[in-house]
C-alpha cells in the first residue's frame, strides 16, 4: 500500500509508515531518514522524530498526538466554513474535537503517524479502508474525522462525516449504512 501511494505521502513520514506496516526494521530508520533533509533546530531530523513515534517512543507519540494531530484538528474545524458545514450537518465542533481527542488517545504511535502522513483525501480513504478491513475501528474513525477537518471542498468533508456517523452504529463492513457511505466516497474519488 505504501508503494502504491508513495508519491502521495509526505516524504518525511515514509520511514515511519514503513515501520508501522512492518516493512522496515526500527533500527534501520536512521539510514532511511538520511536522504530526508528537513531538520529540527537541534539537528535531529523530522523524519527520525516521526519514526520515533512509530517505534513507540512515549515523548514522540505525545508530541505527535497533542502538538500535531489534536492541535491541527481543532484549528481546522474552528474555521468559519467548517463550523457552518458541521452545524448544517447536525454536528458540534466541540464534541467532534473531543471525540477526535479521545480517538487519538486510543491509538498507538504506529497508527497516529498515518493520519498526517497522507497528502490527499483519496489516500486517506485507502488507509481508512485498510483499517476497516483489519478491524481497527478507532483508526478508521480517526481517519474519517481527520479528513473531515482537512482543508478541502465541502463534499469530501460531508462524505467523511457520513462514514464517521455510520461507524457510530457499527464500524464493521456488515453495517449497510457504512457500506453505503463508503460507496459514496469511492464514487467521489474514482
Is 171 within the bounds of a domain?
yes
Residues whose CB is less than 8 angstroms from the CB of residue 38 and which lie 6 or more positions away in sequence, other chains included: 12, 45, 46, 47
Tens of pLDDT along 117-174? 999 999 999 999 999 999 999 999 999 999 998 877 788 889 999 999 999 888 888 8
Is 162 within the bounds of a domain?
yes
Average pLDDT taken over every residue of the chain: 89
Residues whose CB is less than 8 angstroms from the CB of residue 118 and which lie 6 or more positions away in sequence, other chains included: 5, 8, 9, 10, 124, 127
Torsions phi, psi of 118, nearest 5?
-95, 135
Helix pair 80-88, 154-167: axis angle to 10 deg: 50
Please report which residue ranges of 26-92 form alpha helices under DSSP H: 29-33, 46-54, 58-62, 71-77, 80-88
| pLDDT at residue 70, rounded to an integer | 95
CB burial string 32-55: b at 16+ within 10 A, e below: bbeebeeeeeeeebbbbbbbbbbb
Rounded Cα distance, 190 and 153, in Å = 16
Is 93 within the bounds of a domain?
yes
Is 10 within the bounds of a domain?
yes
C-beta of residue 127 within 8 angstroms of C-beta of residue 118: yes
For residue 140, count CB atoms less than 10 angstroms from its CB and return exposed for 0-12, middle for 13-18, buried for 19 or more: buried
Q: What confidence category does residue 46 fall into, taking pLDDT thresholds of 50, 70 and 90?
A: confident
| pLDDT at residue 75, rounded to an integer | 92
| pLDDT at residue 31, rounded to an integer | 84
Q: Residue 16 belongs to what domain range?
A: 6-189
| pLDDT at residue 41, rounded to an integer | 43
Rounded Cα distance, 4 and 1, in Å = 5
Q: What is the pTM of this model?
A: 0.90
Q: Helix (H, G, I), strand (E, B), or coil: what is residue 9?
A: strand
Tens of pLDDT along 57-77? 999 999 999 999 999 999 999
| pLDDT at residue 163, rounded to an integer | 95
Any idea which of 10-19, 29-38, 57-66, 124-133 has the lowest mean pLDDT?
29-38
| pLDDT at residue 153, rounded to an integer | 74
Cross-strand partners of 118: 9
Residues whose CB is less than 8 angstroms from the CB of residue 154 and which lie 6 or more positions away in sequence, other chains included: 81, 85
Is 1 within the bounds of a domain?
no
| pLDDT at residue 174, rounded to an integer | 86
Q: What confidence category does residue 39 fall into, taking pLDDT thresholds of 50, 70 and 90?
A: very low
Would you say residue 44 has pLDDT above 60?
Answer: no
Angle subtended at Cα 170 by Cα 167 and Cα 172, rounded to the nearest 5 degrees? 90
| pLDDT at residue 132, rounded to an integer | 94
Quote the number of domains for the chain.
Answer: 1
Amino acid at each position: 500500500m505504501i508503494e502504491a501511494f508513495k508519491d502521495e505521502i509526505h516524504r518525511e513520514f515514509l520511514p515511519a509508515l514503513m515501520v508501522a506496516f512492518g516493512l522496515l526494521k526500527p533500527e534501520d530508520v536512521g539510514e532511511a531518514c538520511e536522504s530526508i533533509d528537513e531538520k529540527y533546530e537541534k539537528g535531529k531530523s523530522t523524519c527520525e522524530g516521526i519514526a520515533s513515534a512509530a517505534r513507540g517512543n512515549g515523548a514522540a507519540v505525545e508530541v505527535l498526538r497533542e502538538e500535531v494531530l489534536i492541535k491541527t484538528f481543532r484549528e481546522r474545524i474552528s474555521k468559519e466554513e467548517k463550523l457552518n458545514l458541521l452545524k448544517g450537518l447536525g454536528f458540534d465542533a466541540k464534541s467532534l474535537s473531543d471525540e477526535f481527542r479521545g480517538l487519538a488517545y486510543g491509538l498507538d504511535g504506529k497508527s497516529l503517524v498515518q493520519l498526517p502522513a497522507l497528502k490527499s483525501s483519496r489516500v486517506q480513504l485507502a488507509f481508512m479502508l485498510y483499517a476497516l478491513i483489519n478491524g481497527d475501528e478507532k483508526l478508521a474513525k480517526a481517519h474519517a474525522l481527520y479528513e473531515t477537518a482537512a482543508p478541502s471542498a465541502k463534499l469530501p468533508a460531508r462524505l467523511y462525516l457520513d462514514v464517521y456517523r455510520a461507524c457510530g452504529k457499527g464500524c464493521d463492513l456488515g453495517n449497510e449504512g457504512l457500506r453505503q457511505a463508503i460507496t459514496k466516497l469511492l464514487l467521489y474519488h474514482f
